[in-house]
Amino acid sequence: MTSSVSAPKQRIWTVMEVVRVSGDYLHERGVEQGRLDAEHLLAHVLGTGRLQLYLHFDRPLTRDELARFKPLLRRRGAREPLQYVLGSAPFRTLHLHVDRRVAIPRPETEYLIDVLLRLAGTDRVFESALDVGTGSGAIALALAAERMARSVTATDISAGALATATRNAAEAGITGIDFRRGPLLEPVRDRSFDLVLSNPPYLSDADWRSAAPEVREWEPRAAMAAGEDGLDVIRGLVSGLDPVLRPGGWVGLEVGSAHAATVAEMLETVSVLESVGVHDDLAGRRRYVFARGSGGGRVEQVSSQEGGNGGDSGDGGVARPGAGPDSGVPDAGAGHRERGRRPRGRGAEKRGAGASGGARSGRPQG
């Protein structure tokens, strides 16, 4: 009598089953939108778009696909941010490499640039722009890719961040950004700019302690937190602005909503700045402070109603005493959702801003 030996049958997993079971797994580990993240991870492994999964829900996964998916799922289950697991994050027209050396670029920072476009006009090209604390290079690369500035300089205190930003510029085919390492405005003492943008660290120590695990345990603390009240870096930045700003130059900062009024007051003390305004993000939080320097002529007013569903809180614009009605930094409008009409940069693709959670929430973009 002969006996035949057969291997136990492998269970076949379909796309739908994997998404459901993995979504539950992530949810049980505190990942708020577990299913969405499971979809992102599976789409990444399958080399397809997330929405394509819905068209192929019954597709069985191969052993190799499952083997590549599981470690990524485990990492996300350990609350590593989705973008670090995927190794990239979208930012406006760009896809940026991200790892633990850099803060993850957020939709709120994409919107900082939208606010600038609303205020300065979508056709405006700045002569020379500076991104302080460039991290992955998000702001600097967007300014270059969307041709908002003729020359772009980017600084960061972190060598790892600058290495990442340089790599991202090369991968996006963007040349000519002047990357400089050092604290705040130190590396650009020899230069002056007509636009200074920054998304500096602004979490207070208490914010940091209560931040989501994705932020607290994974993102670099020095990129996110700035002392007891969260204002250490902003204070240093604002106090150094005078010599680097050209007449009529612009400053735009992303800040914590609790800080907006304080930062506006700080900017009012900078002698080269003439008008200061606070602007809302898409969730109605006071998140951006813009200021414009004196001696730069008039900036065309942009209606807060244009393309939006209303203005922002209205009391945010703080014109300096003596400034006429045209000299205040105009209101960006909280409901404005359209992107700038500027031609997109190289390799551009249109995409939505994606899922957005709270400030520095660690919520991945869609």
Ligand X SMILES: C[S@@+](CC[C@H](N)C(=O)[O-])C[C@H]1O[C@@H](n2cnc3c(N)ncnc32)[C@H](O)[C@@H]1O
**CA–CA dist 363, 351 (Å, integer):** 17
Residues contacting ligand X: total by CB under 6 A: 24
Residue 187: CB minimum distance to ligand X, A: 8
Residue 244 gets which letter from DSSP?
G
CB atoms within 10 A of CB 121: 15
Residue 103: CB minimum distance to ligand X, A: 4
Residue 192: CB minimum distance to ligand X, A: 18
- From residue 182 to residue 221, what is the string marking binding to ligand X with x (rule CB under 6 A)? -xx--------------xxx--------------------
Binds ligand X (CB under 6 A): choice among 77, 133, 317, 357? 133
366 counts as binding ligand X under rule CB under 6 A = no
- From residue 215 to residue 254, what is the string marking binding to ligand X with x (rule CB under 6 A)? -------xxx--------x---------------------
Q: Are strands 126-132 and 149-156 parallel, antiparallel or unpaired?
A: parallel
- From residue 87 to residue 116, what is the string marking binding to ligand X with x (rule CB under 6 A)? ---------------xx-x---x-------
Residue 298: CB minimum distance to ligand X, A: 30
List the interface residues with ligand X, window 143-162 (CB under 6 A).
155-158, 161
**CA–CA dist 231, 226 (Å, integer):** 6
Residue 63: CB minimum distance to ligand X, A: 38
The smaller minimum CB distance to ligand X, of residues 105 and 333, is found at 105
Q: Do 347 and 172 contact (CB within 8 A), yes or no?
A: yes
Amino acid (1-letter code) at residue 99: D
Q: Do 236 and 338 contact (CB within 8 A), yes or no?
A: no
DSSP 257-325: GGGHHHHHHHHHT-TTEEEEEEEE-TTS-EEEEEEEETTS-------TTTTSSS---STTEEEPTT--T
**CA–CA dist 2, 123 (Å, integer):** 82
Residues that bind ligand X (CB under 6 A): 102-103, 105, 109, 133-136, 138-139, 155-158, 161, 183-184, 199-201, 222-224, 233
